[in-house]
Structure 1
Amino acid sequence: MSQPAAKPAAQKDTAPSQIALNLVRGALIGTVETVPGVSGGTVALVVGVYERLISAASSLMSGIKEVAVSTVRKDPAQRSAGYQRIKNLPWALLLAIFLGMGVAVVSMAHVMSYLVEEQPVLTSAAFFGMVLASLYVPFSFAGKWRGRDWCYALIAAGIMYFVVSVPPAGDMSNPPWYIIMGAAAIAIAALVLPGLSGSFLLLSFGLYQTTMNAVSNFDLTYITLFGLGAVLGLATVVKGLEWVLQHHHHLTLVVLAGVMLGALRALWPWKTDSNDLLAVGDQASAALIWCLVGFVLVVLVILADKIFNKPKVVHQETI
């Protein structure tokens, strides 16, 4: 007996129940994107929309490029193809996901701003534990590690350790436009690299608290610049990372693991204003507890990813 044909994904996306589900998915992704150490890409994998989001982002950038190039060349056929590519995107999915993300980010920004300002030691400790656990993701995704891979990872870790050791260049509470846009363009890379947190990258740049405050206070100038930088990153950094992952998948993840390891320095709870590390100080016991809590939370997310993304065994029917 023949089975009824499955509904196309785009048709499913417009069902009220699916819209509600995608709003929740977006809210989950947005919530973790405000927390350094938990990757929105990993959560997108867990909730089952990662591949569709990356594919849609790639198609959107390709469509915009086709329209732009055809406008310069005055090529109506290419322009029409670009518009058609954009039109065919799963807009019902994208709008629901990004609406859910936006609401969650704005809501969580208030909470994260308060925690970073009022409990810097405990918050940093929790973030440290989260990123430490997140190292498992690029480490495991890279596959078998060879001797030279450990060398590459250690070199990447050393370079990143040095980068995040540099004292702040100035008052990062009011950074220039090119710093905001550049940081956003790089942070958006977390979309294509599960295990890498966009908020963690912002924290490494010294812009995490500034960005959370801007979102919390609806600073439209900052938010607009950050959004433009994110779009620029989608068109350049994300496209570049897609190519690198396709052609140098193993090496990319090896280097990513090293980068995340070296950048842990930025999350050490006890530091001076000039970014020098201090010995373990006040709230040591509480900091250790929160570090373990952060570690366990990420482990649970990783376990959820393994449970919900198991390879499906296809059983063939006998005739």
Structure 2
Amino acid sequence: MSEQRTKKDYALIALKGMAMGAADVVPGVSGGTIAFITGIYDELLGSLKKIGPEAVVVLFKQGIPAAWKHVNGNFLAALFVGVLLSIKTFAGIVGYCLEHYPLLVWGFFSGLILASVVQLYRHETHWKWLDLVPFLCGVAFVVAIAMAKPAHLPGHNWVLFLGGFVAICAMILPGISGSFILLLVGLYPVFLAAINEFNIVALGAFAAGCACGLMVFSRILSWLLARFRRTTFATLLGFLVGSLYVTWPWKVVNEFVINRHGEQIAISSSNVLPNVYTASTGNTSLWAMVVFCAIIGLFLVLFIELLAKKMKAS
């Protein structure tokens, strides 16, 4: 597939990677969701699955070009360049918007997820009533994670390794945010501090966990999709629907902690209706603008899908 692609195709893949990177740094939004709604999910899993001992054998027997082609290197390089570029640049914009316009941002994310729910549902045409079981399990799992109170694990290197292993698995799955998992186990501020302080040892431990998690979990998920595709899709659909609980814009904080900068960080909140939000917080709900942003997110996914179909046809 990579041989048929043009520079324009790889530029579009890089843009999709930027969207994934921006989503991954926001607790509650999954880069896997962005990968799915932009149509690169299956190829991403397939490419990651090829990174392993077989690729090493190809490298030593046939050389670097053959190994690069084996792992779909052009695709992965374009995608992860976009991810890293986004974390460095665009993620700051997302952070600014979340700080100053949180309701509108969460409304936009909800629109993206709603569109991806429709896409995933249409992706499988032979649904059965029994598929409700894995679907409801997926919904319950994500909601349970969202309602769980953050733990406080020590920031040791082996803990960061395990955190990277679990977080990267969550980042692959649509509907489950890796950064939200880090927040739940108390490693999110540790990870951010390691980035800000450029702690090479801590970042190396986290990166090693991510690499191991990618190699292991991509194979497990590919195996599940190959043998239990409809059940897996039903579970992923549940993950996406459950993530709407996380991205619901109007929340009332139940508990918070004070970070080292003297800022209040919410650790427990409840979803409420717009009028209850206004009455509880004294802030306007901006419900019309939130709905408008959700519609923009919805149509953005439809536009990307239409653009992808036209590029494929041409």
TM-score scaled by structure 2? 0.70
Match of residue 4 from structure 1: none
Match of residue 260 from structure 2: none
Number of corresponding residues: 283
Deviation for aligned residue 1:110: 1.1
Deviation for aligned residue 1:136: 1.6
State how 1:93-108 maps to structure 2 within 5 Å.
Answer: 93-108=75-90
CA contact (8 A) 2:195 2:203 kept: no
State how 1:180-191 maps to structure 2 within 5 Å.
Answer: 180-190=163-173
Give distance in 1, aligned partners of 2:306 and 2:76.
25
CA contact (8 A) 1:26 1:99 kept: yes
**Secondary structure at 1:169 match in 2:** coil
- Answer with 54-63 or 149-158: which moved more: 54-63
Query: Which amino acid counterpart does residue 298 of structure 1 have in structure 2?
Result: L
Match of residue 203 from structure 1: 180
Match of residue 67 from structure 2: 86
Match of residue 281 from structure 1: 277
Query: Which amino acid counterpart does residue 203 of structure 1 have in structure 2?
Result: F
Give distance in 1, aligned partners of 2:304 and 2:95.
28
Q: Are 1:231 and 2:211 counterparts? A: yes
CA contact (8 A) 1:125 1:287 kept: no
Give distance in 1, aligned partners of 2:8 and 2:304.
21
Which residues of structure 1 form unaligned runs of 5+?
Answer: 1-7, 68-76, 191-195, 314-319
Matching residue within 9, 22, 27 for 2:10: 22
Deviation for aligned residue 1:206: 3.0
State how 1:107-122 maps to structure 2 within 5 Å.
Answer: 107-122=89-104
CA contact (8 A) 1:125 1:288 kept: no
Q: Deviations over 1:165-186 (max 9, x none)?
A: 1111138999951453134331
Q: Are 1:247 and 2:227 counterparts? A: yes
- Aligned identity (percent) is 17
Deviation for aligned residue 1:111: 1.3
**Secondary structure at 1:170 match in 2:** coil
Q: Are 1:164 and 2:142 counterparts? A: no
Match of residue 121 from structure 2: 139
Change in 2 beyond 3 A, CA 1:44/1:301: closer
Change in 2 beyond 3 A, CA 1:52/1:131: closer
Change in 2 beyond 3 A, CA 1:218/1:56: farther
**Secondary structure at 1:309 match in 2:** helix
**Secondary structure at 1:28 match in 2:** helix
Query: Which amino acid counterpart does residue 263 of structure 1 have in structure 2?
Result: S
Deviation for aligned residue 1:261: 1.9
Change in 2 beyond 3 A, CA 1:302/1:201: farther
Which residues of structure 2 form unaligned runs of 5+?
Answer: 24-28, 256-266
- Answer with 179-188 or 99-108: which moved more: 179-188
**Secondary structure at 2:150 match in 1:** coil
> Which structure is larger by alpha-carbon Rg, 1 or 2?
1
Match of residue 130 from structure 1: 112
Query: Which amino acid counterpart does residue 260 of structure 1 have in structure 2?
Result: L
Query: Which amino acid counterpart does residue 277 of structure 2 have in structure 1?
Result: G
Change in 2 beyond 3 A, CA 1:51/1:148: closer
Change in 2 beyond 3 A, CA 1:134/1:201: farther
CA contact (8 A) 1:34 1:112 kept: yes
Query: Which amino acid counterpart does residue 305 of structure 1 have in structure 2?
Result: E
Query: Which amino acid counterpart does residue 85 of structure 2 have in structure 1?
Result: V
Give distance in 1, aligned partners of 2:236 and 2:308.
24
CA contact (8 A) 1:30 1:104 kept: yes
CA contact (8 A) 2:21 2:91 kept: no
Change in 2 beyond 3 A, CA 1:187/1:110: same
Query: Which amino acid counterpart does residue 245 of structure 2 have in structure 1?
Result: R
Match of residue 272 from structure 1: 254
- Answer with 211-220 or 155-164: which moved more: 211-220
Change in 2 beyond 3 A, CA 1:220/1:24: farther
- Answer with 126-135 or 252-261: which moved more: 126-135
TM-score scaled by structure 1? 0.69
Match of residue 308 from structure 1: 308
CA contact (8 A) 1:22 1:96 kept: yes
Give distance in 2, aligned partners of 1:43 and 1:230.
23
- Answer with 245-254 or 116-125: which moved more: 116-125
Deviation for aligned residue 1:263: 3.2
Match of residue 22 from structure 2: 34
Match of residue 293 from structure 1: 293
